[in-house]
Amino acid sequence: MKNKILISVVFLIVLGSCKKDFLNLASPTSLSTPVYFKTQADFESAINGAYAPSRGLYNGNNGAWAMGELRSDNTTYKYNPNDRGTIQAEYVKDFTDQNTNPVPQSKYVIDYTIIARANQVLAPIDAVSFDATEKNNIKGQAYFLRAFAYFDLVQYFGSVPLHLTPVTTLSGTALPLSSIADVYAQIISDAKQAATLLPNKSVQTPGRVTSGSATTLLGNVYIVLKQWANAETTLKSITGYSLMANYADVYDPAQKNNKESIFEIQFKQGTEGFASNFFYTFLVRPISGTEVTAVTGIPENSLTTEGYNIPTPDIIAAYEPGDTRLAASIGYITASGVSYPYIKKYAHTHTLTNNTDDDWPVYRYAEVLLFIAEALNEQNKTSEALTFLNQVRTRAALPNSTASSQSDVRNAIMNERRIELAFENKRWLDLVRTGTAQTVMSAYGAREKANPQAYYFPAGIAPSPSAFTNIRLLFPLPASEAALSPYF
């Protein structure tokens, strides 16, 4: 964390100091001289820079999918005995956690990069005069991004340092761990600020966060904190969104930022460095180029490393007969002559191998409906809760839920979340916040160990005996960050 903050500060120092006389030397006890933003355009560039790291959270081999989906009973890995060098995400799945694992370290560093960049926008913006509407929009985006990053951190790591201003001194690079309650209080404050400052979707630039994005984030926080009345009021205030008629269209790159989309991470295929590659990351391996081409229709290379985020038999069995989301979410591909499932919702036409146009959905209106249903049910408004749950089921061509008791409706909502939001990094956090992670994952581990081949292990190979023996709810703080702070 300290290294990342230092890099951001030094980069800004260079930009600012290039315009000054080289004889104006920086203080030997300070990391920077003041950096002055002069115009609206400067802040627009800065807020663009605050969004940029979010692509790294979701893309590539160390994406958020490893901690949000692979950690759960939704997906697993295809053990590859010929590739034991790229197995860090395997440890995440097996609960053999290490504080040196680069997977959680990547999330930690990227989130703090977003926070540092948001702080660099918020600190000087009120002192610069430009159009008030545009200023509020930029401030709102910065508050949202900071709240979003801290929400990510606190859910996965628990207590973390709370940096709210740019780091300008060496002593400021390392702060004590803040309590979970204090981190949540700051998230709520930032999300409320963002919801007030941001415009709604109808006038916001496509791809940028809106008042609806911030309100959804705030509602999500209330759900996690079990503040059901606050969650209901907040989430019911969200307007301007509706469900797409066809579930598959939600993920179609030709319909990015559609009427159901509340916040999605923007990607763009091509040579500019903004492309996504989820489809390739989520393929079973080893697989030949010809076998990949059979799905993509373009020339492909063989993939020989370990395969991750493969849908489990458990998630496949969880779909009800007639659920149209199954065919939109899970497909089958032949790898080394054997048929395996793969995540289909991120498989769309593209031109270059490992270079796709798919965005990552973070918040959708379907989730808002399910959040409202949950908040209502937990307040014993079960009949009203079913109306929101059934809106989601109707789109999937399913009949209304037959659940009636509060307990049964609670289970129905969680099952619906599992299917509706499958492979969108929601499952593990749902298991944790509902207090079911240990039970569900211990049972899952027992099934996998009893029948490894059903979970894509080669004949004669089984999970590590230590796998699933300690279902940890939080990830350890990265050792590389702890080494830089006296407070860890």
pLDDT in 10s for each residue of the chain, 488 residues: 444 444 344 333 333 433 333 333 334 444 443 456 899 999 999 999 999 999 999 997 767 999 999 999 999 999 999 888 778 999 999 999 999 999 999 999 999 999 999 999 999 999 999 999 999 999 999 999 999 999 999 999 999 999 999 988 877 888 999 999 999 999 999 999 999 999 999 999 999 999 999 999 999 999 999 999 999 999 999 999 999 999 999 999 999 999 999 999 999 999 999 999 999 999 999 999 999 999 999 999 999 989 999 999 999 999 999 999 999 999 999 999 999 999 999 999 999 999 999 999 999 999 999 999 999 999 999 999 999 999 999 999 999 999 999 999 999 999 999 999 999 999 999 999 999 999 999 999 999 999 999 999 999 999 999 999 999 999 999 999 888 888 88
Q: For residue 178, give the DSSP letter.
A: P
Residues 89, 180: Cα–Cα separation, whole Å = 26
Cβ 357 vs Cβ 348: under 8 Å: yes
For residue 333, the model assigns a pLDDT of 97
Question: Which amino acid, one-letter code, is at 429?
Answer: L
For residue 35, the model assigns a pLDDT of 54
Q: For residue 253, give the DSSP letter.
A: G
* The two three-digit tokens of residue 248, written as one number: 């598959």
Residue with tokens 């600190």: 123
For residue 240, the model assigns a pLDDT of 96
Residue with tokens 């270059």: 352
Beta bridge partners of 333: 340
Residues 477, 299: Cα–Cα separation, whole Å = 41
* The two three-digit tokens of residue 212, written as one number: 């609806």
Answer whether 0.85 is exceeded by the pTM: yes
Q: For residue 378, give the DSSP letter.
A: H
* The two three-digit tokens of residue 309, written as one number: 């985020």
Residues 204, 360: Cα–Cα separation, whole Å = 19
Cβ 428 vs Cβ 66: under 8 Å: no
For residue 484, the model assigns a pLDDT of 83
**Beta-carbon count within 10 A of 41 CB:** 10
Rounded to 5°, the CA angle 162-166-171 comes to 75
Beta bridge partners of 161: 177
Residues 186, 164: Cα–Cα separation, whole Å = 9
For residue 31, the model assigns a pLDDT of 40
Compute the CA torsion angle 374, 380, 381, 386 (nearest 10 deg): 50
Residues 114, 108: Cα–Cα separation, whole Å = 10
Cβ 258 vs Cβ 239: under 8 Å: no
Instruction: Provide the residue ranges of all domains of the chain, joining segments of one domain with +.
Output: 278-358
**Beta-carbon count within 10 A of 344 CB:** 22
Q: At what angle do helices 102-125 and 2-17 cross, to 10 degrees?
A: 40
247 CB-near residues (< 8 Å, 6+ apart):
324, 325, 328, 395, 396
